[in-house]
């Protein structure tokens, strides 16, 4: 299937979702890859991971970028070269999970995470979130909310790209309602009560049985 959905998250940020229904050969024949990406593709153990990787390149090509414009820093964070003669910085964040690949492209820092809904996320919720935020919800609602919180933490991590960030000890979600499709969270790396931490705005939504979460740095940090 071609592009599944484009979500306009703000004036300057778009999220693109690819639903992977093609087989490996179909995707492989449609993307142009640089040698380092071909080598990386060969090291991937599962075909599902390979297809997720190729679908990301399909999304780049849909936006007039290609694998040749994408590079990674030493921690694995992706970056895009500006298009043509533009001097504007472009930010990108990437996520893939089984049937879907997604990229967010923005002119401000953005972090994206895509997660399939699973009971396991709720089982491990006490390890990464404030479980009082799950009170008075049905099991199904708890799974959804815990998945959003996991996505909040992954997407903030992807913006910051710093070693040593602990999901339970450093990233704090404020309580939110799933129906609002937005939330706020704070990154606080320091125990000093006088340091207020860095605020993030979050947008999220469901697509089939997946949740995507996008984090943005608050402008009034
Ligand atoms: C790197 C990490 C964010 C990837 O997330 P994931 O859910 O496993 O996988 P996703 O599909 O959502 O994201 C993978 C993409 O993230 C991007 N990525 C990898 N490292 C990154 C980094 N340091 N910063 C930003 N983006 C990164 C890459 O684009 C990668 O895809 P690609 O290599 O195919 O281009 C994750 O593995 C991680 O290290 N998380 C933090 C660790 C942690 O603290 N975990 C649990 C604490 S309780």
Helix 35-43 × helix 47-62 angle, to 10°: 150
Q: How far is CA 16 from the centre of its chain?
A: 11
β-strand pairing of 70-72 with 91-97:
unpaired
Q: Do both 86 and 125 map to the same domain?
A: no
| Residue 9: φ, ψ to 5° | -85, -30
Q: What is the whole-number distance in angstroms between the Cα of residue 194 and the centre of ligand 1?
A: 31
In 3D space, the residue among 87, 219, 100, 106 whose CA is nearest the CA of residue 158 turns out to be: 106
What is the per-residue pLDDT for 102?
Answer: 98
* Nearest ligand 1 atom to alpha carbon 168: 48
Ligand 1 residue neighbourhood (C-beta within 6 Å) = 53, 75-78, 94-96, 113-114, 128, 154, 157-158, 161, 167
Asked whether the beta carbons of 114 and 121 are under 8 A apart, the reply is no
Among protein residues, the one with the nearest Cα to ligand 1's atom 10 is 95
Q: Which atom of ligand 1 is nearest to the CA of 160?
A: 24
pLDDT at 1: 64
Q: Specify whether the CB–CB gap between 98 and 88 falls below 8 A.
A: no
- Choosing from 65, 82, 108, the residue where a domain stops is 108
Low-confidence stretches of the chain (pLDDT < 70) are: 1, 85-87, 220-221
Q: What residues make up the domain containing 104?
A: 3-108
pLDDT score recorded for residue 196: 79
Residue 72: strand pairing partners: 78
| Per-residue pLDDT reduced to its tens digit, 35-50 | 999 999 999 999 999 9
DSSP letter string, 188-206: -----TT---EEEEEEEEE
pLDDT value, residue 39:
97
Number of domains composing the chain: 2
Tell me: do 127 and 71 sit in the same domain. no
Most ligand 1 atoms within 8 A of CB, residue of 76, 105, 150 to mutate: 76
Q: Which two tokens stand for residue 40?
A: 């990386």
- The reported pLDDT for the residue numbered 221 is 65
Q: Are residues 151 and 193 in the same domain?
A: yes
Within this chain, do residues 155 and 136 fall inside the same structural domain, yes or no?
A: yes
Q: Contact at 8 Å (CB) between 217 and 109? A: yes
Domain end call among 108, 140, 159: 108
What confidence tens digit (pLDDT) does each residue in 95-122 have?
999 999 999 999 999 999 999 999 999 9
Residues 103 and 8 in one domain: yes
Question: Cα of 158 to ligand 1 centre, how many Å?
Answer: 7
What CATH number does residue 162 fall under?
Answer: 3.90.470.20
**CB–CB of 218/199 below 8 Å?**
yes
The pLDDT, as a whole number, for residue 195 is 72
Domain boundary among 108, 134, 162: 108
């Amino acid at each position: 299937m071609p592009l599944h959905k484009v979500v306009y998250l703000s004036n300057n940020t778009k999220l693109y979702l690819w639903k992977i229904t093609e087989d490996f050969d179909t995707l492989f024949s449609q993307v142009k890859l640089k040698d380092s990406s071909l080598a990386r593709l060969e090291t991937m153990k599962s075909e599902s991971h390979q297809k997720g990787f190729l679908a990301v390149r399909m999304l780049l090509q849909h936006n007039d970028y290609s694998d040749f414009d994408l590079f990674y820093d030493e921690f694995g964070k992706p970056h895009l070269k500006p298009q043509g003669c533009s001097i504007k910085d472009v930010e990108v964040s990437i996520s893939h999970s089984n049937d879907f690949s997604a990229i967010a492209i923005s002119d401000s820092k953005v972090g994206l995470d895509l997660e399939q809904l699973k009971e396991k996320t709720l089982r491990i919720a006490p390890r990464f979130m404030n479980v009082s935020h799950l009170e008075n919800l049905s099991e199904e609602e708890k799974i959804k909310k815990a998945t959003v919180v996991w996505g909040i933490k992954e997407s903030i991590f992807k913006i910051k790209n710093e070693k040593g960030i602990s999901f339970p000890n450093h990233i704090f979600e404020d309580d939110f309602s799933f129906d609002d499709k937005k939330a706020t969270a704070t990154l606080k790396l320091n125990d000093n009560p006088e340091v207020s931490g860095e605020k993030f705005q979050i947008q999220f939504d469901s697509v089939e049985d997946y949740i995507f979460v996008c984090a943005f740095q608050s402008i009034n940090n």
